[in-house]
Structure 1
């Protein structure tokens, strides 16, 4: 095949600076060398703890964990570079991007933004290196889109805190060295650092998944978990804390979903060029070319949107509703692209030899987590009308 790559069609390379291109290319090589040869097996078998830890250490050596944070061993890159890294990671698999984004944008960001200096020194350098893994406990089985309804409680008992409750759908949960757990208290929603092995704390794996199988997902169970006074994140006592962390992670998804879509589209292009149907290449048929053209339009538009949001974030001007705009559009379009690419591959598309259906299954989760599409539609609707439709 001698055609133009989908993201080269509009000649957008000049929109990135030298450092951003270097980071993108470094992460792409990591994915090519480390993820692509193994991801089908990880997905089929379900990834194991040792592989997650090894992958985290390798990501840490590349400076990918908490890369957009300053100090404590973090790389301190700009937001656009972080987004580009997410795009390359998710081109490998959404589960690998989830490992990096949950570590950096949820667990590490929470400690970095709301923790004490002692907490930052204790946890962040090891997490940046990938020697320690964190998870983020906000979602509950009955309270996903409505985190204000959470039932997990923390009460004072002398100088200690005692936590009771459960969290659900927690990436990295069973392999994490520390969990950032959000709970209701008498003075608002507070974040707590719960080290693995604390009595009363367990993180059973969620199994039989049809999506994100190259990622560990767990439940967090807290039964009379006693923590010292210095386990609480001191700088926030409201939902502003966890929601600001989610905005950080959603920003990465705006870019990340495009990586999955790009990989699907490139796979479909390569397959169509080599597959002969009635003595002609599949790529020479009009119906195939119209599919490829339409998907490339949406991929390139999503990429321009992501870069725009990245520049806004780097300028300190990005608003939460704009992140909702990006996640809603890019994940929805990426899922549509993955499904359409599967049709080009025909029956071959249902196997793990090719990536589109694996990406599509993963994107079904990405469509839901860190804000469902319906929630983001309502965020945009509220911005347009000035009226809340959430209640």
Structure 2
């Protein structure tokens, strides 16, 4: 792996503390969590006690007012290979910023202390049975009833769906305008808000993923995030960060798949010598190593741009596309080089293969990333009319 100049000594000290916490609180429980289909709530509170949650939050809310994306990158890099399903990055960098950046002072005072402590687990509900990457196509409705909003609809594939105490729900507020979407803070226990089953998935079994249902859910006016019709713009602005978060996880898992495979082919023998010494194995691994190094360099470039507030949607789409395609290719090559062992559940590469296949789909599919990049080149077919 290439030397990375992104991190400073303070970041590496933080990494050491994260590794110690993972060894004590996460790794011993991973297999049980994967069997149970979700992590324990207690581990969220443990993460909060360590100061790992929503570090950007104000000190009066329990945070340390440290908005340095690199610390969250380290959390992702260290948690990813555990296969724990602990969605700290979703909580910290996908959902938390909605409240921290766009919430009113009253909303921040009410919710951020729980987000920091781990007592309030976060989720965001955009995807619906008939609307995935096309956020403008959502059908969940929010009607203005004067002194409250009334939400009806359903969501699916919602990460943290079972555990979440607070869900940011995207709902259409004006059916005549495709982009008139509001963001609503829906708390656990709100009448009419129901959770469906914990969905069975190909991989990442410890990450609870659920259907959510809204039947005449009354939301007070003070639980609207920003303008009732301004949610679409907010979501689009946050997607760049979500995609770089996703990319850190992708490259972390690609690196792990590479290392697991390298160790295996150095040890496994065929025809009297390690299979890693055959030309095909050497060439496959050499190609992966070169592409990984290039992808890490692009990721760090994107991270620096993001820290400066200069990460464009096209650049975020580029690293998301590259990293998600690469992790799937590395995992697939790893299974192939493991031979029959790669198909066995007891080998880590088998788990990595299943867990990472979703990378090309969530946070925007590879096809959508290509659309974004292509439109950035001026190749937008919507301008023909």
TM-score normalised over the length of structure 2: 0.91
Q: Unaligned regions of 5+ residues in structure 1, if any?
A: 1-6
Q: Is 1:210 aligned to residue 202 of structure 2? A: yes
- The aligned counterpart of 2:246 is 253
Determine which of 245, 267, 275 is the counterpart of 1:282: 275
Q: Within the alignment, does 1:240 sit opposite 2:230 as a pair?
A: no
Query: What is the match of residue 12 of structure 2?
Result: 21
Contact 2:167–2:186 at 8 Å: present in 1 too?
yes
Q: Distance in 1 between matches of 2:383 and 2:157?
A: 23
Q: How does 1:1-391 map to 2 (within 5 A)?
A: 7=1, 10=2, 12-43=3-34, 45-48=35-38, 51-68=39-56, 71=59, 72-75=61-64, 76-93=66-83, 95-96=85-86, 99-186=87-174, 188-235=180-227, 237-238=229-230, 239-388=232-381
Shift in Å, 1:102: 1.8
Tell whether the 8 Å contact from 2:57 to 2:112 is kept in structure 1 after alignment: no
- The 2-side partners of 1:127 and 1:166 are apart by 24
User: Are the aligned partners of 2:160 and 2:208 in contact in 1 as well (CA < 8 Å)?
Assistant: yes
Q: Any stretches of 5+ residues in structure 2 without a counterpart?
A: none
- Write the distance in 2 (CA, Å) between the matches of 1:275 and 1:69: 49
Q: 1:300 to 1:103 in 2, by over 3 A?
A: same
C-alpha RMSD of matched pairs (Å):
2.2
- Work out the CA distance in 2 between the residues paired with 1:236 and 1:16: 39
* 2:165 and 2:188 in contact (8 A); partners too: yes
Structure scoring higher RCO (CA < 8 A, sep ≥ 6) equals: 1
TM-score by length of 1: 0.89
Report the number of matched residues: 377
Question: Is the contact between residue 114 and residue 235 of structure 1 (CA under 8 Å) also seen in structure 2?
Answer: no
Bigger shift: residues 101-110 or 118-127: 101-110
